[in-house]
Structure formats: C-alpha cells, structure tokens
Structure 1
Amino acid sequence: MDLETKKNVFVTLGRFLEQFKEDKSSKDLSVPLNDLFYDDFLNLIHLSQSHNGWYTPEQVYFSIQSWAKALTEENLNKWLSNYDFTHVEPKKIALILAGNIPLVGFHDFISVLVSGHNTLVKTSSDDQHLLPFLAKYIIAIQPEFAHRIEFVSGKLENFDAVIATGSNNTARYFDYYFKDKPSIIRKNRNSIAVLDGNESKEQLIALGEDIFRYFGLGCRNVSKLFVPKGYSFDAFFEAIFEYQDVIHYEKYANNYDYNKAVFLMSNFKLLDNGFLTLKEDESFGSPISSVFYEFYDTIESVKEKISSQADAIQCIVSSNLVPNSIPFGQTQRPELWDYADNIDTISFSLTIN
C-alpha cells in the first residue's frame, strides 16, 4: 500500500469524524460507508460515559472534532513530507495505550500505520471501544489494513518494537520487560503556564480551557502556574468563573471535595473559588480540581527551572515569556507534528529493522 493510499484513508476518516459535533451531528451523504457506521458511532459516543465515567459526550465530541480538524489532506501532507518511507520493511509494533482521555493513543496508532508497519494494540481498560471502532472503519475503507491491525486483551507476544504509555511506576516495569526491544516508554508529564500579570481576560479564559478540558486528566492539561511575586489571583479567578459548571459533574465534585479536605486537614493554605483550589507547591503534578502555583523573582529563574526539569514537562503556556511556549487555550489542540514527550514516533518507527 503506497503512501498516497494511506493518506487518502485518513483523510476519509477525518471526513467521517467531522460529522459528529456536540451541538448538532449531521450525516454527510458523500462520506463513504455512512450507512454502516454513522448511527453505530453516534450511539457509541453516547454510551462512552457508561464505559468510562470521565468520558462525557462533551469531552468525547471535543476529541473527535480535534481529530477531524487534524486529518485533512493539507495537514497530512505537511506532517509526512519530511520522511522517507521508501525502504520500510513492515514490522509489528506493539502499542500499550493509556485511557485518561478519549482516543489518547490514536496518534501512535496512525503513526505506525502510515509508516508502513503493523500494529499490535493493547488498549487501556478505560478506553476499549472508540479506537477499535475507528479501526473497523479504516479497514472497511481499505481492506489491506485488515492484516496490519490487531487488538489483544492478554499478553503481548511476537512483536518487534513497542510504544508504551503509563505512569512512572509502570514505566519501570516497561523498561525491564521490554529491555531487549526497541522502545518508546512514556512516563508522567505535566503542563505548566508562566504568567507575568499582564495577561488579558481573554487569555486567562483560554487558560481555563487548558486547565479544565478533559477535567484536567491529560498530560497536556495545565496543572502548575508560575507567577511573579506579589501576583494577585483575582483576575484569574474572575476569568475562569465561566468554567464553574464543572463542579456539577459528580466525579469532578467528589475529587474537589476529597482533595480540598486532604489539603485542609494538612493545614495547607489554599485559594479556593468553589470549584478549583490553588495551592502553593513546587511540584508539577497537582490532583484533579487543584492547580499548584509557585512565585518567581525573575523570568530567568523560571527558564532555569524549566530547563532542569524538562523531562517532567509536556507543554508550556505563556505569552512568549519562555522558549517553546504555546498560546493560551491550545494545549489540547496539538497538530499532527506535535509529538508526545517531543519524541518523533515516525522517525522511531523508520529505524526499526
């Protein structure tokens, strides 16, 4: 199967996904195989929360639309133009996927397939339905993918390389278990924002998106703020007030109540607006419903800390205050060429022989 054929399949998939919107899903009669897949996928979206309580329709629709916007001919051409796929000998690459947010492992999945390799996929117990469904659609569009995609529920066997995503604890297990295989082993990472007090209300509202999207469960969610000494959080709290409805979601509210109680029993000083707590803490990884913050004297000191702990950071949000930062509100809208942990999975797959 040549590269153009594979790209066309993913463009078609993008058109299929584009039909499903939270405000109004509508069937596009020009999309192939809609009669077989449209209604079933719509039902699956609304059943997702019964499979994983965090997968509300709003969050699943957001993920689907993000992928619909990514899988265009223009984006695929831009993404893949820098690689040479002419000498790929197909190998079997095992994927161990996380399940913290909907379709979180989809980028690894399409990276392996577009590279010309075969996938052996072990989904998370928290996300067992969305990706297999889309795989069935891909195979229906291009049956040659049928022998390139395999899902397993038990032990992984007979593979040539592995891409595994998990916690710091599971990463130690992965490192040992896959020590004889080419691998990408992903650990815990968190995202941060660097503020200087000159942010507009619109930027701070967008920062709320970076914090609350997927209830803060993703590694691209902002969980730590760096703010200048003397910073007032009044404007921040005012801006994020429009996300107050998050507290009406039971699982989030339970985390808010629990984590706030733990902090208070430990006599930690908190800032609290009724649906989010702010705690001064040097750590990057805050619990759900809480964001850590740290005061700084100079931007240079922030740059030094970021540099020294780069392996713990996924995204940096700021108004160009520090290198490699992205605009407010964009952490959960990565492009195809934005790789997790800055590890190029396609380049990795092209080195397997």
Structure 2
Amino acid sequence: MSDNIPFEIQVEIMKRLPVKSLAVFRLVSKAWKSMIGSPLFITDYTNLRQRHRLLIRYHIDTFPDMFDSEFKYVSIMDNDTLSRHPVRNIPVSFELPSKLVGISQGLLCLFGYSREVILFKQTAVIWNPSLGKSVAIDVPCQQGICASALGFGVRPDNCDPMIVLINGVGHPIPVLVFTLSSRVWRVSRGKLPSKLISFTFSCPVATDDRRIYWKAYERGINLVVAFDMVSEDFRKMKLPDSVTHRFVDDFSISLIKGSLALLEYYYDEEKLVYGVWMMVEDGVSKSFTKLFTINTPNAPLETKVLGFRKNDQPIMATTTDEYGVYASLEVYEPRTGAIMNLGINGVHDVFFCCSYTETLLLLDQLNEHSVKVQLQL
C-alpha cells in the first residue's frame, strides 16, 4: 500500500482481506507484522465476519474401506456463487471417524482416537481451516471413566480457545476446563450442572458468542444446558412444551444466524417433518420462537439436517439408496420448499457440515500433533 495512505486507513483495508493474504502481508514490514498479529486486530477481524464459508466433510467408501482412505473436506463460499475448493492441511488423522465438537469464531474442534505406538488415546484438535493451523490436545480419561460430553468455544473477553469436558455420573471431578493459553486441564470455577442431568457423548453441541450449549435430559425431560465461557457457570434452559416432552432422539440443537436453534422431528402422514425454533433474547429473558417447518421427501428416503447457511437455509443429507447407506447434500429453501442439490455425495453417517468465518486465531501457532498437558486438580 502507498505510504500516502494513513496507517489507520491501511488497517481498515486489511481487515477486509482474506486471511491467507494477511499471513503474507506480515512479511512486508515490522509495523504490519505487529499490527496484524495484535490481539485487537485479530478480534476486530474475526468480529467483522464478512467471509462466511461452509465446511463439509464426506467419504465415498463404506466400511471396512473407510479405515484405509482419507476423508474429503471441501470449503464452499456461503453466497450466491457457492464456489468451492478442497481443503488441505487437514489436522491429525484419527483411527475412527472424528466427531465435530464445536465451531467458534472461525475455529473448529474435532474429537477422536489417535494412535500412540500400540495404544489409542483420546485427542481433541483445535483447527483453523482458513490458515491450515491446528493443535492436538490429549483429553484425560481418569479412573477408567471417559468423558460424557465435550464442548468448545472461544472466550469473548480474551479470544482464548476453550474445551469443556463433562465427566460421567459418579466421577469425582464433574467438569474440567482446558484453555489453549494455559495448556492445563483444571476444575471449572463456576456453578456446576445438577447431578440429575444426563449428557450423552454423541449429544449435539452449539456455541454462540458467549455460551456453549448441550442437549441433555433430566428425569426423562428434554432440556438444554448452557455454559458461560467467562463466568464458567452452568444453567438449565426452558424449552417449548412440544420439544420438552419429545422422545430424546427426536430433538437436536444447532445455530441459526448466531443464535441457538432447536430442531424437533416428528412424522406427519408417514413423512418426516422438522420444526425449527430459534432462541430470542429480550434483555435478560430468553424464549424460543418457531421459524418454519421442513417438509422432507417421502419415505423410504431419510433426511438429516446437518446445519444452516448464514441466511437460515438448512443443509440436509438425504439418502439415495434403499439401504440408507449413501446420501446427497442438499439445501432447503424454507419459504418455497425448493430443494437444491449441491452435487456432493458420500456415506450418510459420515457427513458433517458447519458454517464458519475466516479468522486469524492461531496465526502464530505452530502445528502440533500431540500436546501433553497437565491436569491441575
């Protein structure tokens, strides 16, 4: 940029550039390197959220071939073009298909089992797909009791990536918290969830700008448990009656436009229907309003909602064979009921799709395949 352009204007221009360009621009001068790597610039850049993308993982092979070949990742620009490109620099490989723990501020967290000599260990990976940077973290498994649930988010006050581990019932340490800056698993400092609340390891997780949410249940009643990443307090959230009393597998959570969303599944004349609710905040109170209903194709096709675009359009995986093994990725338009096929096909149960924005978080981080962390009790 010209020296005639005030430095403040240069900063505003660079906030709107792709992350890979900024990574190169750090080499231009000491002033640019210092500015681009500063916490204030990284926070402002992330909060602009102008470059929305969809990250999709898929696999074209079924078991047992799945263990002998790589999963495919593709990034799609979330605009009218839906332009796409393959994602490289995939983080540490897992022995089994990994679980998506959460997405926050452009970072993803994956969980799986990685091999260490002849043993397997629980591993969480914090990954910036825009920069290709990742950190693999050992997840503790104490006294033979492994995690009931995991959550991930980036603290809004200091942009520190955080993993929350909820241990099983009867474990002496109900909740552990890991922050990337400390590299330590420690006991949560806030109000803990009730011992009567049950989490499942496969339970859906959603993260907004401040809280991590888990689907859970208590005495057979569905609920959502929220964790405040700053205060580290847990609290229960009241759900609409139709969602509260559904069978536990007929309810899920996600995000729509940065807000918590509920998905309830039910059959209407043998056709699977999704009711989509969004949380609305009015001061300190929170309630849910129903946005729309998704009418999926007729049986025997099975449709699963994987996530939402920035304009609230659901992204679905719909089976393409009578056995329900393979599926095709589709976008549903809730206002017209139209369905657009994205042309991505794969094994139905392996798909995941999430919405993310480009971020400079982990910019100075070296790729680490295994981080031995301390357990601070």
Question: Same fold per TM (> 0.5)?
Answer: no
The answer to which structure has the higher strand fraction is 2
The answer to which structure has the higher helix fraction is 1
- Please classify the TM superposition score into its range, dividing by the shorter chain length: under 0.3
TM-score relative to the length of structure 2: 0.23
TM-score relative to the length of structure 1: 0.24
